[in-house]
Structure 1
Amino acid sequence: MPRPVRFRSVLPRPALSRRARFGAATVTTLVAGTAVFGIGQATAEHSVPRTDKEIPNLTQVQDKIKAYYGDTVTADGEHYASPDSNYARQVRGIEAKARAYLSKALAKHDKDGGKDGDQGDGKGNGKGGRKDGGKTRPAIVLDMDDTTLLTYNYELKVGFNYTPETQNKYLESTDMDPVFGMNKLVNWARGKGAEVFFITGRKESQREWSVRNLKNVGYDVALDRKHVYLKNKENPPAYLPCGATCTTVEYKAGTRKYIESLGYDIVANFGDQHSDLNGGYAKKTFKLPNPMYYLP
């Protein structure tokens, strides 16, 4: 099978994002929607499994993940998700809802002249706007890994065993595919007047590779430092009171709060983890599917 052109190697080959992980077995409930997995599984969960029957079989979990993504293997052994997979279909359904919502939200924002005094309160209730009731510009915020860029090839390459070293090597030399259809949705929203911001847990040292990847796979939006936010533990920004010790929620919600302070109204926030979405400072959130890992 010829190598899909959508996944481009820029050098030898690179990796994913800064992620604190649970093992792939932990995400079974995201794949199957239940703790019951296979014949003889227990019907109740305990924080510490009482028998092996309460623990999903790791090989079976990985096989289900591959089936969900429509795993396609090329002649050179590279793994890709299929555009005909259940994953791709689920993503397209979420994108359709997002597009319908954004069509109305952006039109209303334009009609109202960006007048909105409804502030986000940091509690994840979807509020947003300016405290002084002044005019705002509509914006959308997106996470990067498995929200705008698909990590599936990297995950299979490392056997779902993320390390900072393999991630760096991979990101340096390889462009991840866009999450199916997300580049088109983002570009469409930008054309409708939404400013686009990316907030990722990737390290500041990975900025050049991340921006290159977004650009190469069709995100035709501003990708400068004012629009792409990466985690900087060495020199955390002054607008984050938690500094270098921020949790994911504190870092992402605090950055959204900062973006709104610049005069933007975040009408939608997209992420594959609940920690991408919690904390407020967005009128509506959209959760992308990800059964491969969990990031608190």
Structure 2
Amino acid sequence: MAGKTLNGRSRTLATLAVGVVVGGAVAGGGFAVADSSVPKTDRQITNMTDEVSKIKAYYGDTVDAKGEHWASPDSNYAIQVRGIENKAQKYLESKAKHERGVKKAIVLDVDDTSLSTYNYELETTFVYNPASNAQYIATKTMPAVFGMNTLATWAEQHGYTVFYVTGRPETQRAATAANLAAVGFPKADEAHLFLKNTVTPPSYLPCGKTCTVIQYKSGTRAHIESLGYRIVANFGDQYSDLSGGYAEKTYKIPNPMYYLP
């Protein structure tokens, strides 16, 4: 099954299997990459119907009266996310107590780190399309990834500035900021929310219009640190959200639904 690259977002159903392997990893482990080896037999290929069933079970799939799919708060996914958040909060708390007078910050990715795209993924059978995605973002409110809004609010209340760095295009700024606010995240104004601008990229990104995900995100974190902040923790659901430095510690949020290099 051929993959497609749309707005820098490379997805195929085959990457679901990769996500199952690497999606649950937390900060401190080595960064995994997709295995591009060619299978010799069909037995080496994950059955996609079975894999989707596993993903739905992991998220505790529930369907409302409108036929929309939601993750369950008592799912294994939610339990795993809460475990990561608890570790992160303990680390942030220790830094808050012992490093007073420092402009401390945390950085959050948006999709599947702050806001859950689970329902969109089920609607599109895990096939990303920029038009359907833009329509979804413009018309629906994605729920918060379990507990991330609470963690972000706690961090702000304990002296951290919360920044959001997302690969969403600049044209989705208003909808993204409104969604984050609607589900309880700290302010996502222009000074704190960074989106990818491929029309007039910021001067602090030397890669300009051709930035890879890693170049864009690490370069934006470098810019935040140039403003005098120390990024104590960086949260993302993709390893490309976390690579490139400019954060003391990284936290990988599980996401078995897709892989973004």
Counterpart position of 2:40: 50
Counterpart position of 1:23: 12
Counterpart position of 1:128: none
Alignment of 1:121-270 (within 5 A): 137-219=103-185, 221-270=186-235
SS of the residue corresponding to residue 200 of structure 1 reads strand
Distance 2:104 2:234 in 1: 12
Amino acid at match of 1:168: A
Distance 2:226 2:242 in 1: 18
Alignment of 1:85-100 (within 5 A): 85-100=75-90
1:146-196 superposed Cα distances (whole Å, 9 cap, x missing partner): 000000011011111110000011000001000000000000000000001
Counterpart position of 2:243: 278
Amino acid at match of 1:22: R
Tell me how far 1:18 sits from its aligned partner: 5.2
Do the aligned residues in 2 keep the contact of 1:69 with 1:87 (CA within 8 Å)? yes
TM-score, normalising length: structure 1: 0.80
Q: 5+ residue gaps in structure 1?
A: 1-16, 34-44, 115-136
Do the aligned residues in 2 keep the contact of 1:176 with 1:213 (CA within 8 Å)? yes
Counterpart position of 1:7: none
- Aligned Cα RMSD in Å? 1.6
Do the aligned residues in 2 keep the contact of 1:19 with 1:162 (CA within 8 Å)? no
Distance 1:206 1:260 in 2: 25
1:98-140 superposed Cα distances (whole Å, 9 cap, x missing partner): 0000000121221xx32xxxxxxxxxxxxxxxxxxxxxx0000
Do the aligned residues in 2 keep the contact of 1:178 with 1:217 (CA within 8 Å)? yes
Do the aligned residues in 2 keep the contact of 1:24 with 1:62 (CA within 8 Å)? no
Counterpart position of 1:122: none
Distance 2:175 2:18 in 1: 33
Do the aligned residues in 2 keep the contact of 1:199 with 1:228 (CA within 8 Å)? yes
Alignment length (residue pairs): 245
Do the aligned residues in 1 keep the contact of 2:143 with 2:183 (CA within 8 Å)? yes
Tell me how far 1:230 sits from its aligned partner: 0.1
Counterpart position of 1:123: none
Distance 1:265 1:275 in 2: 20
Task: Please identify, of 77-86 and 20-29, the stretch whose mean Cα deviation from structure 2 is larger.
Answer: 20-29
Distance 2:81 2:173 in 1: 26
Do the aligned residues in 1 keep the contact of 2:108 with 2:114 (CA within 8 Å)? yes
Tell me how far 1:31 sits from its aligned partner: 2.1
TM-score, normalising length: structure 2: 0.90
Counterpart position of 1:65: 55
Distance 2:241 2:82 in 1: 20
Distance 1:236 1:32 in 2: 34
Tell me how far 1:199 sits from its aligned partner: 0.2
1:87-108 superposed Cα distances (whole Å, 9 cap, x missing partner): 0000000000000000001212
Amino acid at match of 1:84: D
Q: 5+ residue gaps in structure 2?
A: 1-5, 23-34
Amino-acid identity (%): 56
Tell me how far 1:29 sits from its aligned partner: 4.0
Amino acid at match of 1:24: L
Distance 1:108 1:98 in 2: 16
Over 3 Å counting, the alpha-carbon distance change for 1:21 and 1:278 in structure 2 is same
SS of the residue corresponding to residue 206 of structure 2 reads coil
Whether 1:288 aligns to 2:217 is no
Which of the two has higher C-alpha Rg? Answer: 1
